Amino acid sequence: MSRRTVIPSRVLLVGIMLSLMGWVAAVTGADAVPRPSHGKGGAVGTFANETIDIDGQSREYRLVVPQSVDGVKPVPVLFAFHGFLVDSKDVMPVYSQLDKLAEKDGFVLVYPNAQDRAWKLLPVLAKHDFAFFDQLLAHLSAKYNLDQNRVYLCGMSNGAYFSHLLASQRSEVVAAIGCHSGGLGLLARREPKVKHKYGVFIAHGEADSIVKVEEGRKARDAYKEWGFPHEYLEIPQLNHFWGIKGEVNEKMWKFFESHPLDAK
């Protein structure tokens, strides 16, 4: 009788992510050909290798501007923060399918790239990442007609932890966040002092072996206690992956649409 080989979940996840990275490199190595928009500033298309200078350091990001963005009507913007290590601005679009959502619902989509493939999760260490967000938002606002009442964040795993942190530091700017497979981290110690209680959409796989589902539940309970608008989605049998069968993207965007910054 042959023995069954059991592959540890972390090894399996890394293998799958590495395969995705190879697929991305083959399919999305070049930027899409842009066309001029009819209104404000920038062109439309997918721009895979954009950079911006932050305090003398070059930071990378991927930009998706659907053809439905005409430059005349103000549109929302979503910053999508990838996960840890093997994840990136080029891998996250594959597993999250957020590009399709942007095209369908007509918003600008940005995938910032973390330094050393990890978002810092302490405010004192994350200052450069905060500045990256601030200057990137200002840069894109100068090129595109972005609705400043509908600036949203989302993140996967490490990116979800960072989305919680960034929103707590930029509550006067961020309308709502979507956090998948990540917890509050040090924010769980006490209620953040914010100028605006932004909306919080939380999604977590019930079978997550990397960040246990209890972390998502704790975040849900904390935001409920603190009086933040929130919605919690727990996906049965899902491990540490983005729920792409409609469980997450459509529900997250519907939540975002009902939580602009100026909502009373």
Backbone angles phi, psi at 25, to 5 degrees: -60, -35
Q: Which pLDDT belongs to residue 39?
A: 59
What would the pLDDT profile of 162-215 be if each residue is shown by its tens digit? 999 999 999 999 999 999 999 999 999 999 999 999 999 999 999 999 999 999
User: Six-digit token pair at 10?
Assistant: 């972390």
The whole-angstrom separation of Cα 252 and Cα 177 is 9
User: Six-digit token pair at 28?
Assistant: 């999305």
Q: Which top CATH class is 36-257?
A: alpha beta
Domain borders along the chain are 36-257
Distance of CA 225 to the CA centre of its chain: 24
The residue to which tokens 């609705």 are assigned: 147
**Which pTM does this prediction carry?**
0.88
pLDDT tens, residue order, the chain (264 aa): 333 333 344 434 544 444 444 444 434 444 454 555 455 668 899 999 999 999 999 999 999 999 989 888 999 999 999 999 889 999 999 999 999 999 999 999 999 999 999 999 999 999 999 999 999 999 999 999 999 999 999 999 999 999 999 999 999 999 999 999 999 999 999 999 999 999 999 999 999 999 999 999 999 999 999 999 999 999 999 999 999 876 799 999 999 999 999 865
The whole-angstrom separation of Cα 252 and Cα 201 is 6
The whole-angstrom separation of Cα 175 and Cα 181 is 20
Closest CA to 247 of 188, 195, 206: 206
